[in-house]
Amino acid sequence: LGTGRTATSISGSNVHNCALLDNASVKCWGHGLNGRLGQGNPNDLGNGANEMGDNLPSIDLGTGRTATAIAAGGAHSCAILDNGSVKCWGKNDYGQLGLDYTPDNLGYQPGEMGDNLSSINLGTGRTATAIAPGIFHSCAILDYGSVKCWGNNNYGQLGIGNTTQMGDSSGAVSY
């Protein structure tokens, strides 16, 4: 994970992993398709010599931002930042990144991370205390204990009493 670095938490999906380090930075490795590693390219990391440790770049979460929690979903990853906001990157074919716009992928091309990656609209003054991305959807526990989910809902996984897909978190229902 890097010289002198240790992990404080780790999350894994079927093809990639993300670790929150003791300095509140995030590193992801594994299958890079769709930008799930947040490196601005589709390259796999960790399957070749000299790709881990000090050679594995930290995720750019934005100027002065660090993470308090991370989670790896099916083809996307999410982090709760030190200010309680949430950023997700990777595949977005069902709105699982929770953004008000719907690009196919984020973190796949240069310049898509850091300050260019929008935080999720959790509601006025709302922050997240936990995040759980699924395969094609994501859910967050908010600061006042409610849950907000967004993305694919073909099996009712958003818990909103129907199978309507919520393409961004601003239209998602809190419960």
Contact 120, 111 (CB under 8 A): no
Contact 112, 88 (CB under 8 A): no
Q: What's the confidence (pLDDT) of residue 166?
A: 78
Residue 132 sits at φ, ψ, to 5 deg, of -145, 95
Contact 131, 80 (CB under 8 A): yes
Q: What's the confidence (pLDDT) of residue 86?
A: 98
Q: Express each pLDDT in 14-55 by its tens digit.
A: 999 999 999 999 999 999 999 999 999 999 999 999 999 999
Q: What's the confidence (pLDDT) of residue 150?
A: 93
* SS3 label, residue 125: coil
Contact 48, 25 (CB under 8 A): no
- CA–CA gap between residue 159 and residue 161 (Å, rounded): 6
Q: What's the confidence (pLDDT) of residue 107?
A: 94
Residues of the chain with pLDDT under 50: 173-175
C-alpha closest to that of 67 among 23, 99, 97 = 23
Full strand arrangement of the beta sheet holding 7-12: 7-12, 16-21, 26-30
- CA–CA gap between residue 159 and residue 156 (Å, rounded): 6
Q: What's the confidence (pLDDT) of residue 170?
A: 56
Contact 153, 163 (CB under 8 A): yes
For residue 53, what is the DSSP state? G
